[in-house]
Amino acid sequence: MSRIRTAAFAIVAVLLPLPAGAAEQVNVYTYRETKLVQPLFEAFTKDTGIAVNVISASSGLEQRIKAEGDKSPADVLLTVDIGRIDEAVQAGITQPIGSAVIDETVPPRYRDPKGHWTGISMRARVIYAAKDRVKQDAITYEELADPKWKGKICIRSGQHIYNNALFAAYVAKHGEAKAEEWLRGLKANLAQKPSGGDRETARDVAAGKCDIGIGNTYYWALMMNNDPDKKPWAEATKVILPTFAGGGTHVNLSGVLLAKHAPNKANGLKLIEWLAGEKAQQIYADANYEYPIRPGVPLNPTIASYGKLTADSLPIAEIAAQRKTASTLVDKVGFDN
């Protein structure tokens, strides 16, 4: 059976010092860069007096927590993408959050029906289109398999977790047979072998190697605002929010889970609930260029410039349930070959 491939990298531990006089603490394992989440945790400590100790890694945190067993210091796992969220649950390292605050704040489709995870922000899988060559401002995901785009699409590996989630959403929407047909059509329209990341996709669109590429919303904002070397790639492209036919734009999550053997469970719950609050949502949205999960929180101006996001109504848990099928189809059609 095909499997979803993830790279293995060394774990880097970054422990934030315990503030003087702080009697309480919470231990967070995270896939986000420490510099991106540290302002968030500093604000939490200021509000609650609870110190946050952080271990950051690019991969392998689920395996680490599982190996640590009931001696694991992890209280909370802060992660990205439904793929990693689901992998943590399947590894048996989580427990139900059981928070009325989360249930009241986070829309049901962005929470685990069994309570093991909740989203705290969203990103959309969108189109980076060449400003000078693509005149249309609306595209459906289904349309990506239309022969009119033959030789004009760039994308990273079909087995990458971001694309796996999109393909899984297509399976959930249309069924396995139609998803396979669509993937074959999308593959036939590729300008080159899937490679690189979302930034490189924008680079190749800007260079004229393709007219449209598929990427996450926040990468474009990061290139435009935070990376002068890559800003020309963003300036040469525009972001189009695609939709499913009769539906909305595919979104994925940054999510948080409560560790099964959390030694500071009460503080872990306080952090999870705080992350869903207005202050944290605004900090997180601005630091990471993501969409707040909490209704009514203002968008970062760059993200707002993409236009109104109408997120698809498909529950994220239903997408997670189709991940293995999507991965199998990628191999079956030879998408990355």
What the block records as the tokens of 210 is: 């393709």
Q: Is 218 annotated as a binding residue?
A: yes
pLDDT of residue 23: 67
Q: Given phi > 0 = left and psi -120 to 50 = alpha, else beta, which region is 278?
A: alpha
Mean pLDDT of 102-129: 96
Reported as a pLDDT band with limits 50, 70 and 90, residue 10 is very low
Distance from chain centroid for Cα 17: 28
Q: What is the pLDDT of residues 25-39, one digit of tens each?
A: 999 999 988 888 889
**Euclidean distance between CA atoms 257 and 271, whole angstroms:** 11
**Euclidean distance between CA atoms 155 and 327, whole angstroms:** 16
pLDDT of residue 145: 98
Q: Are strands 212-216 and 117-130 parallel, antiparallel or unpaired?
A: antiparallel
Q: Which amino acid is at 216?
A: N
- Average pLDDT over the chain, rounded to an integer: 93
Whether 113 and 91 have beta carbons less than 8 Å apart is answered as no
**Euclidean distance between CA atoms 153 and 212, whole angstroms:** 5
Q: The pTM is what?
A: 0.91
Please determine whether the domains at 11-122+252-299 and 124-249+317-332 fall in the same fold group of CATH: yes
Which CATH number is 124-249+317-332 given?
A: 3.40.190.10
Mean pLDDT of 152-169: 97
Report in angstroms the alpha-carbon separations of 24 from 38, 54, 256, 259, 266: 18, 14, 20, 17, 10
Q: Is 291 annotated as a binding residue?
A: no
**Percent of the chain residues past pLDDT 90, beyond the cut:** 88
Distance from chain centroid for Cα 61: 16
Distance from chain centroid for Cα 233: 22
Residue 276 has pLDDT above 90, yes or no: yes
Beta-bridged to residue 253, according to DSSP, are 122
Residue 4 has pLDDT above 50, yes or no: no
pLDDT of residue 5: 39
Residue 3 has pLDDT above 70, yes or no: no
Domain residue ranges in the chain: 11-122+252-299, 124-249+317-332
Q: What is the pLDDT of residues 280-303, one digit of tens each?
A: 999 989 989 999 999 999 999 999
Q: What is the pLDDT of residues 203-240, one digit of tens each?
A: 999 999 999 999 999 999 999 999 999 999 999 999 99
Q: Please give the torsion angle defined by the CA atoms of residues 13, 16, 18 and 19, in that order, rounded to the nearest 10 degrees.
A: 180
Query: Which class is 11-122+252-299 in CATH?
Result: alpha beta
Residue 20 has pLDDT above 80, yes or no: no
Task: Say if residue 63 is exposed, middle or buried (CB neighbours under 10 Å; 0-12, 13-18, 19+).
Answer: middle
What the block records as the tokens of 320 is: 């997670």
